[in-house]
């Protein structure tokens, strides 16, 4: 594209350089023009008319501007130099009516510098815009990768953790009661089936560029999530109005991750309370357990993912020990952050 765009300018520059020198030779004589000897003109010609001189200078300056703006550097530099040299040659050796030779040379040099600077300014501006656009595109890709990583972690960690807990329990009781251990196998199979289904749903969502939503009935999904968590969960959901699906998905994922963390790290937990309430401007949610925080309860990617998800929505997030267990709270605004 750059070469094709520069070819007409190269041709025009070559023609203009030849034309300016030819006119100079026509006015003062080719012998003087080639030997760089100044003197009177060889005869009166219409090329001496100020209108032609102005038009010729304007075309040269436009070409200088165009090269500084558009053509590749290896083409722009010799083209601009050739145009300036042939124009300065003409300004010095041609006779002028209203300007001295020195004034004509200085004027054309100043105008050429101004036009070249203007073209370079536009070139730099376009490059800056292209760099900003590339940075924005890369930032969008990075955000998309982070979102995909969080979604993958939320889905896989929730289901696989449940399967792991049941498998570990089956191993513990297998030595004393194999029948009871076998009774736990259907739960593990169900957890694996749910994991595959969730993964398929997530892949469909990503393939559709996020058009699909994770929840259309947030209250029902929250109750279902609590029932399947394998924890003694008590839920309190107060939603007096519909929540937009994208926000509902974030609420569901945060509660899901909080329950997953409670199942993995809340040692000896006998109670987990999930509270989700809707106010006029925000969704308030909290998940609190009464277990003893395990060695990894204060960190991990799960907390990082929840915090990032909340901050992207312009909300506030807290997670930490309460003295009697572990608390996760979030405040998510109803309006989309701009």
- Of the pLDDT bands very low, low, confident and very high (cuts 50, 70, 90), residue 26 is confident
- Of the pLDDT bands very low, low, confident and very high (cuts 50, 70, 90), residue 284 is very high
- Which of 19-33, 47-61, 127-141, 202-216 bottoms out in mean pLDDT, i.e. has the lowest? 202-216
Please give the Cα distance from 66 to 50 (Å, whole number). Answer: 24
How far apart, in Å, do the first and last CA atoms of the chain sit?
Answer: 37
Please give the Cα distance from 114 to 130 (Å, whole number). Answer: 24
The string of DSSP letters for 233-255 reads EEEEEE-SS---HHHHHHHHHHH
Q: Cα separations (Å) of 68 from 4, 14, 60?
A: 16, 16, 12
Calculate the CA dihedral of residues 225, 229, 231, 236 and round it to 10 degrees: -10
pLDDT number for residue 297 = 47
What crossing angle do the helices spanning 218-228 and 245-265 adopt, rounded to 10°?
Answer: 10
Contact criterion met (CB below 8 Å) for 223 and 235: yes
Q: CATH 3.30.565.10 spans which residues of the chain? A: 215-338
| Region 215-338: CATH code | 3.30.565.10
Contact criterion met (CB below 8 Å) for 68 and 120: yes
Coil vs helix vs strand at 321: strand
pTM: 0.45
Question: What would the pLDDT profile of 307-334 be if each residue is shown by its tens digit?
Answer: 888 888 889 999 988 888 899 999 999 8
Please give the Cα distance from 198 to 160 (Å, whole number). Answer: 11
Question: What would the pLDDT profile of 150-200 be if each residue is shown by its tens digit?
Answer: 666 666 666 677 777 778 888 888 878 877 878 878 877 877 777 776 666
Strand 272-278, strand 266-267: pairing? unpaired
Question: What would the pLDDT profile of 123-147 be if each residue is shown by its tens digit?
Answer: 999 889 888 877 877 776 676 677 6
Contact criterion met (CB below 8 Å) for 246 and 208: no
Closest CA to 65 of 15, 119, 125, 13: 119
Residues sharing a CB contact under 8 Å with residue 167, sequence separation 6 or more, in sequence order: 184, 188
pLDDT number for residue 61 = 92
Please give the Cα distance from 293 to 233 (Å, whole number). Answer: 17
Q: What H or E segment, with its residue span, contains residue 266?
A: strand 266-267
Between residues 312 and 78, the one the model is more confident about: 78
> What is the residue-averaged pLDDT of the chain?
80
Question: What would the pLDDT profile of 188-240 be if each residue is shown by its tens digit?
Answer: 787 777 777 666 656 655 554 444 445 668 888 899 888 888 889 999 999 88
């Amino acid at each position: 594209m750059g070469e094709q765009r520069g070819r007409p300018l190269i041709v025009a520059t070559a023609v203009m350089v030849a034309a300016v020198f030819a006119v100079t030779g026509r006015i003062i004589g080719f012998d003087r023009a080639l030997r760089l000897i100044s003197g009177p003109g060889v005869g009166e010609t219409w090329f001496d008319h100020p209108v032609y001189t102005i038009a010729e200078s304007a075309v040269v300056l436009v070409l200088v501007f165009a090269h500084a703006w558009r053509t590749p550097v290896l083409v722009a530099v010799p083209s601009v130099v050739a145009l300036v040299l042939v124009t300065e040659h003409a300004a010095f050796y041609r006779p002028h009516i209203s300007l001295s030779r020195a004034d004509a040379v200085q004027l054309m040099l100043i105008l050429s510098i101004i036009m070249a600077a203007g073209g370079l300014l536009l070139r730099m501006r376009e490059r800056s815009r292209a760099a900003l656009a590339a940075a924005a595109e890369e930032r969008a890709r990075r955000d998309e990768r982070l979102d995909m990583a969080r979604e993958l972690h939320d889905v896989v960690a929730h289901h696989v953790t449940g399967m792991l807990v049941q498998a570990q329990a089956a191993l513990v009781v297998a030595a004393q009661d194999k029948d009871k251990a076998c009774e736990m196998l259907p739960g593990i199979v169900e957890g694996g089936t749910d994991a595959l289904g969730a993964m398929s749903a997530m892949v469909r969502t990503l393939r559709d560029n996020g058009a699909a939503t994770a929840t259309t009935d947030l209250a029902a999904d929250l109750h279902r999530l609590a029932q399947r968590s394998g924890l003694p969960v008590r839920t309190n959901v107060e939603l007096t109005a519909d929540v937009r699906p994208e926000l509902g998905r974030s609420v569901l994922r945060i509660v899901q991750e909080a329950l997953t963390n409670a199942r993995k790290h809340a040692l000896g937990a006998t109670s987990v309370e999930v509270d989700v309430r809707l106010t006029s401007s925000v969704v308030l949610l909290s998940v609190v357990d009464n277990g003893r925080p395990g060695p990894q309860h204060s960190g991990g990617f799960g907390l990082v993912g929840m915090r990032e998800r909340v901050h992207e929505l312009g909300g506030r997030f807290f997670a930490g020990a309460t003295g009697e267990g572990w608390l996760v709270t979030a405040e998510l605004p109803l309006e989309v952050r701009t």
